[in-house]
Amino acid sequence: MKVLSGMRPTGKLHLGHYFGVIKNWVELQEKHETFYMIADWHALTTAYKNTEQIKENIEQVMIDWIALGLDPNKSTLFIQSEVKEELELFLIFSMITPKSWLEWNPTYKDMKLNLLRISDLELSFKGGLRDLVKEFLAKVPYKIVDFEAFEEVILDTLSDSFIRAVFEGLLEPEILNRLNVSKRDFYDTDTYGFLGYPVLQAVDILIYKAEAVPVGEDQLPHIELSREIARRFNQLYGEVFPEPKALLTETPRLLGTDGRKMSKSYNNAIFFADGKEEVRQKVMKFFTDPQKLRKGDPGRPHICPVFFYHRLFTNSEKTQQIEVDCMSGTLGCVDCKKIMFESLESFLEPIREKRLEVEKSIKDIKEVFMEGSQRARQIARQTLEEVKEKMKL
């Protein structure tokens, strides 16, 4: 099975990246033909204003990948922008992809709405967004059976252009200040390139004729779109592309130090580049069961982020004991965190050492990625030939 995946170079990797995707990638390279790319053009779709970071970020990702066990002897590790053939296919796919497929892509809508969260807007509107919808519904000349459900549906499916209209027309500058957003922020991703993000991703996958794509759940709409583009091309011009399927990781979403999903932007992440002391401090600041205020209070391990980490990093016998002692109250959070820190460190330490080693030979590592890119390019070139032949170009 041919496997391919990619990652945008957004900086140093953290535990969430590892459990979310990379662990899966490392396992897959044992049994399959695997391709892993650093998707630097994709980074450009959102970071086009801060391009000075991208080169450095690519290097950091290279170092982390190797330190985490991706092996250039088993996988083709490469850089998207080194394969210029992708651009030609990107142009061709752009011609055959209906605009509506992109505009309705949930990930696209999500990302745009994330910039301006509806809940923020609701609070700050004159009257509130909900009132606006209510007012509208009151004027509809039909009897609405379940008013609230209908209202929810409307709020949920508010289209991008509606949000934009509201944003343009109804928000006072003073409110914008309070929300800390500007019109410019809103239009950051209102670009041709960003709309085409999933088309480029379809190119990434299809130009290497990948059959399986190991990704996180959030990427499913993109994989689906790749399948649709493959199908459309094959129908229009003849069979070239296999339809790729997504491979999801079983690992639960990794929690950060505050119990929310681990993410750089939440400031709750533990990075592989963090030193031992840094990790210790982060562990000691971990959120725990808010009802367990002091040693002696019974705790609820199943809702505690620290216990979540014990389950991942501490051996199962000890973990069971910790569960019992937390619930009875004999184990306090500080001691519990100290044990967790030791367990976590026994996982992180070898990676940190490998990382330092790899960092020293960054020149060789870059070379490895260049060789990988050459290999990827060969395949891309062949596919492109085939594409043009089928299209009679």
Q: Which residues make up the interface to ligand TRP (CB under 6 A)?
A: 4-8, 39, 42, 201, 204-205, 213, 215, 219, 222
* Residue (20 or 256) nearer to ligand TRP, CB: 20
Closest alpha carbon to 39 in 87, 64, 5: 5
Which residue of this chain has its Cβ atom nearest to ligand TRP in the complex? 6
Q: What does the alpha-carbon distance between residue 101 and residue 98 come to, in Å, rounded to a whole number?
A: 6
* Residue (22 or 129) nearer to ligand TRP, CB: 22
Residue owning tokens 């500007």 = 182
Q: How far is the CB of 201 from ligand TRP (least distance, A)?
A: 4
* Residue (40 or 289) nearer to ligand TRP, CB: 40
Q: How far is the CB of 53 from ligand TRP (least distance, A)?
A: 16
- Measured CA to CA in angstroms, residue 247 lies from 4, 24, 211, 223, 253 at distances of 10, 9, 10, 10, 15
Q: How far is the CB of 112 from ligand TRP (least distance, A)?
A: 15
Give the burial class of 124: count Cβ atoms within 10 A of its Cβ; 0-12 exposed, 13-18 middle, 19 or more buried: middle
Q: What does the alpha-carbon distance between residue 377 and residue 86 come to, in Å, rounded to a whole number?
A: 9
Amino acid at 29: Q
Residue 332 DSSP one-character state:
-
* Residue (44 or 284) nearer to ligand TRP, CB: 44
Q: How far is the CB of 194 from ligand TRP (least distance, A)?
A: 12
Residue owning tokens 């725990």 = 288
Backbone angles phi, psi at 6, to 5 degrees: -150, 165
* Residue (39 or 339) nearer to ligand TRP, CB: 39
- In three-state secondary structure terms, 375 is helix
Q: What does the alpha-carbon distance between residue 50 and residue 197 come to, in Å, rounded to a whole number?
A: 18
Q: How far is the CB of 48 from ligand TRP (least distance, A)?
A: 16
* Residue (264 or 295) nearer to ligand TRP, CB: 264
Within 10 Å of residue 275's Cβ, how many Cβ atoms?
10
Q: How far is the CB of 50 from ligand TRP (least distance, A)?
A: 17
